[in-house]
Amino acid sequence: MQTGVIKIENLVVEYPARSFGDKPNAAVKKLDLEVHTGEVFGFLGPNGAGKTTTMNVLLGFVEPTGGRASLFGIDVRQPIARQRIGYLPELTYYYKFLSAEELLRFYAKIFGLARSEADRRIDQLLKLVELESARKRPIKSYSKGMQQRVGLAQALINNPDLLILDEPTSGLDPLGRMKVREIIQRLKHEGKTVFFSSHELGEVETVCDRVAIIHQGELKAVGRVDEITGRHASLEKAFLSIIDFQTSTAS
Amino acid sequence: MKNIFAVAGVVIKELYRRKDFYVLFILTVLICLVMASVNVFNDKQIVRYLKELCLLLIWVSSLVIAITTTARQIPAEREQRTLLPLLAKPLSRNQLIFGKFLGCWLACGLVLICFYVFFGALAASRDHAWPLLNYFQAALLHWITLGVVIALTLFGSLVLSAPSSNATICFVGVAAVLCVGRYLNAVALAQGEPSRSIVYALYFAIPHLEIPFEMRNLIVHDWPLIGWNFVALDALYLLAYAAAFLIATCLVFRRKPVN
């Protein structure tokens, strides 16, 4: 039986009104979502749909206004809920005065990895993201693609059971994208759960088991890729249809 | 604790990889060496002026390093978004604050060791004496005072928008406490009500940092050691202020959006 790695129930996130008298800005409206063990789950939506806000709630960055969210059954407000997850933000900025090796060692300490285990893991990850030769160089000397790869390595330092990726391929060249896809596939084969947002629908179609489409803070569709695609030629066409349909209904 | 020490380790690495400390240390060394090389007015007690100047420079430099290093910690993390991958780990916001504080405080301790070793060597070259315990007392209270300043600056970095404004306000505030804080009770006596009560309240509310600051005189004039129980009491008094500022910082940070 599949168990819920991510469980979101009736989640509401409202940001305070920008000026006096305005209504609070509802970024997420009564969202219900469950992601199961071993799934690669795509979280889709246009800009401003509420994807990053939902991820921010899962990571404990934003306090929900209502509802609840849990990771592995632990409330997301508890730091321990993040013990088994890896996170790659959309834009990666790391301590530029540290080298990739030092950065990974720092994060390994936070996860409580023993020195020998951390050494082994750092070697393994730097090899995986092809940064072995640059491991001692400060991150400030890295190209954007190299920084993104450091980001991926730090997200995997604790050998996470759940990987949360926010636009993992943004700013990457085709080779970098292929590498990320390979890593996601590899994690899937290892039984890990991957939850990621992306605008690259072709990519989502290739790697995802299930997807959810969110628009204006509301969940519009959730299901297997083939179910969502349905009668449409591709996921992209289905996505546009769902968004357009909802927009025209709303107006 | 391991998380707090991990964060502190990064802060220390940042300090020794930046140029601030080296610039201030070299400037202090150069000024003191130039002063030591001349004997103005052929005064036999010139070494006292030299020691006074050197200690004043050490105080100014250490305050500049403590305030500038601390003021940029949290704002830089938020601006450069390094806070996101960090808080996505099993690290609580309180641990982050305590780690930042500990890192800045330990880094300032290392800076003080360098400064006081140089001071000791310079004074010994003229005085031919090593009053190590006096130096230790002065350095210890100096370091604990920096703890209060760091906690205050960390708090300021969350309530003030720009690191530069926070650094300026903290520097002016600390300078005011060091220079005029001790006279506020006398000022209060000369006032009518309600000003008297207000100034008295201010006098009792501010952290009095002047005792560690005035330890300079013990060294400059070769006075004997002060009682260790007095040192311990002053240290406790200062640590209570540092703790109060840290608790306030944690409470404010708990409500701050990460991005």
pLDDT digits (tens, 9 = 90+) for B218-231: 888 888 888 899 88
Contacts of A79 in chain B (CB under 8 A): 90-92, 95
pLDDT tier for residue A251 given thresholds of 50, 70 and 90: very low
Q: What is the pLDDT of residue B101?
A: 95
The angle that helices B2-17 and B93-127 make with each other, rounded to 10 degrees, is 50
Strand segments, DSSP code E, in B178-245 are none
The answer to whether A110 contacts B3, with C-beta atoms less than 8 Å apart, is: yes
Q: What is the pLDDT of residue A249?
A: 47
Residue A250 has pLDDT above 90, yes or no: no
The answer to whether A82 contacts B90, with C-beta atoms less than 8 Å apart, is: yes
Binding-site residues on chain A for chain B (CB distance < 8 A)? 56, 59-62, 79-83, 85, 87-89, 91-95, 97-98, 102, 106-107, 109-112, 151, 154-155, 164
Q: What is the pLDDT of residue A196?
A: 87
Among A83, A44, A10, A107, residue whose Cα is nearest residue A242: A44
Contacts of A82 in chain B (CB under 8 A): 88-90
* Distance of residue B95 Cα from the nearest chain A Cα, in angstroms: 11
pLDDT tier for residue A248 given thresholds of 50, 70 and 90: very low
The rounded distance, in Å, linking the Cα atoms of A205 and A23 is 37
pLDDT tier for residue B41 given thresholds of 50, 70 and 90: low
Q: How far is CA B242 from CA A179, B154, B204, in A?
A: 48, 10, 16
Contacts of A59 in chain B (CB under 8 A): 84, 87-88
Contacts of A61 in chain B (CB under 8 A): 84, 87-88, 257-259
The answer to whether B89 contacts A107, with C-beta atoms less than 8 Å apart, is: yes
With an 8 Å Cβ cutoff, is B254 touching chain A?
A: no
The rounded distance, in Å, linking the Cα atoms of B85 and B148 is 29
Contacts of B79 in chain A (CB under 8 A): none
Residue B132 has pLDDT above 90, yes or no: no
* Least confident among A156-170, B32-46, B212-226: B32-46
Residue B183 has pLDDT above 80, yes or no: yes
Averaged pLDDT score across all residues of chain B: 87
What share of chain A in percent tops pLDDT 70?
95
Residue A2 has pLDDT above 70, yes or no: no
The answer to whether B82 contacts A95, with C-beta atoms less than 8 Å apart, is: yes
The answer to whether B81 contacts A91, with C-beta atoms less than 8 Å apart, is: yes
Q: How far is CA B240 from CA A117, B141, B233, in A?
A: 40, 14, 11
Name the residue among A62, A82, A95 with its Cβ closest to that of B88.
Answer: A82
Q: What is the pLDDT of residue B8?
A: 92
Name the residue among B2, B5, B258 with its Cβ closest to that of A61.
Answer: B258
Q: What is the pLDDT of residue B259?
A: 67
Q: What is the pLDDT of residue B103?
A: 94
Strand segments, DSSP code E, in A93-176 are 162-166
Show the tokens assigned to B143: 């370091």
Compare all CA atoms of chain B with the CA of A85 and give the residue at the minimum distance: B89
Highest mean pLDDT among A190-194, B151-155, B187-191: B151-155
Q: What is the pLDDT of residue B40?
A: 65
Q: How far is CA B206 from CA B158, B175, B179, in A?
A: 20, 12, 13
Residue B195 has pLDDT above 60, yes or no: yes
Q: What is the pLDDT of residue A109?
A: 92
Q: What is the pLDDT of residue A64?
A: 86
More confident residue, A119 or A179: A119
Residue B158 has pLDDT above 60, yes or no: yes
The rounded distance, in Å, linking the Cα atoms of B2 and B237 is 27
Contacts of A167 in chain B (CB under 8 A): none
Averaged pLDDT score across all residues of chain A: 84
* Distance of residue A83 Cα from the nearest chain B Cα, in angstroms: 5
- The per-residue pLDDT for range A215-246, each reduced to its tens digit, is 888 888 888 888 888 777 778 878 888 876 54
Residue A208 has pLDDT above 90, yes or no: no
Mutate to test the interface with B, among A77, A96, A110 (most CBs of B within 10 A): A110
Q: What is the pLDDT of residue B148?
A: 95
The answer to whether A94 contacts B3, with C-beta atoms less than 8 Å apart, is: no
* Least confident among A72-86, A236-250, B240-254: A236-250
Highest mean pLDDT among B107-116, B177-186, B199-208: B107-116
The answer to whether B152 and B170 are in contact (CB under 8 A) is yes
Compare all CA atoms of chain A with the CA of B9 and give the residue at the minimum distance: A106
The rounded distance, in Å, linking the Cα atoms of B163 and B14 is 17
Cross-strand pairs, A86:
A163
With an 8 Å Cβ cutoff, is B79 touching chain A?
A: no
Q: What is the pLDDT of residue B242?
A: 95
* Least confident among A78-82, A149-153, B45-49, B150-154: B45-49
Mean pLDDT of the region B97-104: 94
- The per-residue pLDDT for range A16-61, each reduced to its tens digit, is 777 777 777 788 888 888 898 889 898 888 888 888 889 888 988 8
